[in-house]
Amino acid sequence: MTLDTATPTLRSGIYEALFVHAPDGMLIASVDGRVLAANARACELLGRTEQELVELGLPGIVGGSDGRWSEVLGIRDRTNAFRGVVPVVHGDGITFSAEVTTGTFLDGRESRAYVCLRDVGAAEDATAERAEATARSAEDVVDALESVSDMYIGVDADWRMTYINAKAEARLGVAREDVVGRDIWQEFPALVGSDFEPVYRQVARTGRPASLEARYDEADLWCEARVYPLRRGGIAVYFRDISERRAREQERERLLEAERVAREAQRDLARRATRDELTGLLSRAGLRLEVERVLADRPGARLTVVSMDLDRFKLVNHSLGHGAGDRVLGEFARRLAALTGPADAVARYGADEFVVVLVDRSTEEAGRFAEQVLRACREELDVGPRLLVTVSIGLAARDVCAPDPGILLREAGVALHRAKDDGRDRAVWFDEQMHVESVRRVEIENDLRQAVDRDELFVEYQPAFDLRQERIRHVEALVRWRHPLRGLVAPQDFIPVAEETGLVGRIGEQVLDRALAQARRWTHLPDLRVWVNVSPAQLVDRAIPDRIAAALHRAGLPAERLGIEVTESALADGAGAGEVLRQVHDLGVAIAVDDFGTGYSSLARLTEFPVDVVKIDKSFVGDLGTARGEAFVAGIVTLARAIDAHVVAEGVETLPQLTALSALGVDSACGYLLARPAAPEHLPLTLPTEASFRWPVGLHPTVARVPGPTSPQR
């Protein structure tokens, strides 16, 4: 402000403040029309700087040819105040209506004029009004309408169009001379019933401005329309094409929606990942999260992990189908959930494996829980055929401080294994002895990887003696591990580890190669067959038949020199193993069912597989003095005859056993009585002249250790 040069009165405090901050535009002028000062609002309203206004003087803001301005400018004394709405010119050339109040006051001894300006509506409104008020020929008004960036249509009180600017002409595809004077509803029938109609009518009726965003299909136009009432009736419509903005908004909405959908899907996935679909229990991942949550809430809580595995579930699946298997799992899950509380985490951990994490329960409470699970399981399951399924349970407990329930899970798993080994359908707590064993197991796992590469594995052989033909036709290859620190490790201690870690494939291949190479060296026994143990985990590998064929090829041996031994449980594992076995058999390789009697397949199931040899498990040989044992062996022999299979009894340690087996019709026998597993150079491969089971008892345990006169050449 240039007040300090302008007027002494205004320089004093309160007046200056009022002047500077007034919400209306204020000008101080001399009585002859020179502008002396202008406040910020006046500059804003008039679109000019104070300096420009000083230079222009009051006549410079006079708009149009309105006669009342002579009144405004003619004020000479204080009685002569003026107040009225008059046109005013904005700095950008547009004329608008302002309520103007003027008067004079005495500043010291000088007479001054003040001009107060108040905007009375949007500039467009005033422009439109001007367009209506002054004849259409008023060039400045038309110019103003043409210069606005929006499209414009004026309508009178009878809905006849009074004006349409060039932008609207072009966009709507009409010519001014064709539409001016015509009824807007007739000229643009698509407006009738559109969103525009009620708004236009409402503005005309109420005299209050309104605006809307709507689509005008006829012109493919998304528009934002501002509708003002005109003083003499009718309306002024300013509208602009907002298609681009709409498109941007719609694109944004589309993106937001896509993002929302993606987020929802992500949440859904996470939810599903934490839940097991079949049973609705927690999944592995869900259990981990749940335990983390519990430990975050209650650090140091005592957790008891109860690890459960349904007994013989594979058999259920295999004999009754997967549908029945799923129903068993579902029913077990329900019973489990019914036995647990809201604080406990219940998860399905694998195919037929379940884990419950009990929070802050005593050993007694956890033990009772396990008992309840065992009992609940023994109640018959109603899943089609009447079915009894039992469960084995391992428990481990600790006050957990670090959120690593992994150790507990491992320990409960070890206890579970023990429960299985001890005969299933029972609960076993993890203890220190198991801890030692599990540590050992982990060590074995680490060392075993190196053992394969460092050639620490080797093979011993054990012959089976043919009881009637008095010849040796079978030799079984048995793997051994000479650990650099532990010494000899028995296969029972490392084969299960190898199976779990997937190493069994490489080990099996090594054993196979060595056994075949050895068989090739036994040139003087052309019909000696070498038998190699193949674990169920190896049979999962569909390429096994090809690998075996390749190994035979490498050794340069016919398939007739090889047999593979698979356990009975491998046969129960489903159709996959059967197919693989058939392919192996088709090569000419013989197949033996190992440890027969310990698995769960019915004798009749054997007929489904290409079985050449049935090996009676040593536990039955041990039972031979009893009626049950002998009935069992007799049964196997009968069955084997029916499928044309050769019967071998394993683990023969005494002469009476050997005598009994021979009497029952068993074809061959092996065991410490006859020969211990040994390196090939120490192996007795022909029978002593005394022949088979009439041998004196004391002789044979040592036979395997003493190189005989007929021991094979290397």
Positions touching ligand C2E (CB under 6 A) are 462, 478-479, 490-492, 495, 508, 511, 533-535, 565, 594-595, 618, 650-653, 670-672, 677
Q: Alpha helix locations (H) across 180-233?
A: 184-187, 196-206
Q: In what order do the strands lie in the sheet with 35-38?
A: 35-38, 25-30, 110-119, 95-107, 82-89
Closest CA to 201 of 163, 241, 233, 164: 233
Min dist CB 528 to Ca ion, Å, is: 16
Q: In the range 637-676, which residues lie near Ca ion by CB under 5 A?
A: 650
Nearer to Ca ion, 396 or 475 (CB): 475
Min dist CB 335 to ligand C2E, Å, is: 35
- DSSP 3-state helix, strand, coil percentages of the chain (rounded to 5)? 45, 25, 30
Min dist CB 491 to Ca ion, Å, is: 10
Min dist CB 477 to ligand C2E, Å, is: 6
Nearer to Ca ion, 227 or 530 (CB): 530
DSSP-assigned letters across all residues of 414-469: HHHHHHHHTTSSSEEE--HHHHHHHHHHHHHHHHHHHHHHTT-EEEEEEEEEETTT
Q: In this structure, what are the phi and psi dihedrals at residue 84, rounded to the nearest 5 degrees?
A: 180, 165
Min dist CB 402 to ligand C2E, Å, is: 38
Q: Which of 50, 140, 466, 565 binds Ca ion (CB under 5 A)?
A: 565
| Piece in contact with Ca ion (CB under 5 A), picked from 77-85, 591-599, 629-637, 700-708 | 591-599
Min dist CB 596 to Ca ion, Å, is: 8
Contact status: 124 vs Ca ion (CB under 5 A): no
Nearer to ligand C2E, 172 or 649 (CB): 649
Nearer to ligand C2E, 137 or 492 (CB): 492
Say what the alpha-carbon torsion angle 184, 189, 194, 196 is, to the nearest 10 degrees: -10
Structure tokens at 637: 């022999």
Min dist CB 478 to Ca ion, Å, is: 7
535 binds, among ligand C2E, Ca ion, none (CB under 5 to 8 A by kind): ligand C2E
Structure tokens at 515: 């056994």
Contacts of 253 (CB under 8 A, 6+ apart): none
How much is the CA Rg of the chain, to the nearest whole Å?
Answer: 51
Longest distance between any two alpha carbons in the chain, whole Å: 157
Q: In this structure, what are the phi and psi dihedrals at residue 570, rounded to the nearest 5 degrees?
A: -65, -30
Structure tokens at 209: 């401005």
Contact status: 568 vs Ca ion (CB under 5 A): no
Nearer to ligand C2E, 239 or 596 (CB): 596
612 binds, among ligand C2E, Ca ion, none (CB under 5 to 8 A by kind): none
| Piece in contact with Ca ion (CB under 5 A), picked from 229-237, 588-596, 628-636, 703-711 | 588-596
Contact status: 612 vs Ca ion (CB under 5 A): no
* Burial per residue of 597-614, b for 16 or more beta-carbon CB atoms within 10 angstroms, e otherwise: bebebebebbeebbbbbb
Kindly state the number of chain residues that form the binding site for Ca ion, as judged by CB under 5 A: 5
159 binds, among ligand C2E, Ca ion, none (CB under 5 to 8 A by kind): none
Q: Which of 165, 533, 535, 601 binds Ca ion (CB under 5 A)?
A: 533
Nearer to ligand C2E, 337 or 540 (CB): 540
Q: Which of 595, 612, 623, 667 binds Ca ion (CB under 5 A)?
A: 595
For residue 611, how many C-alpha atoms fall within 13 Å in the half-sphere facing its CB? 30
Structure tokens at 280: 């609705």
Nearer to Ca ion, 63 or 671 (CB): 671
- Interface residues with Ca ion (CB under 5 A)? 533, 565, 594-595, 650
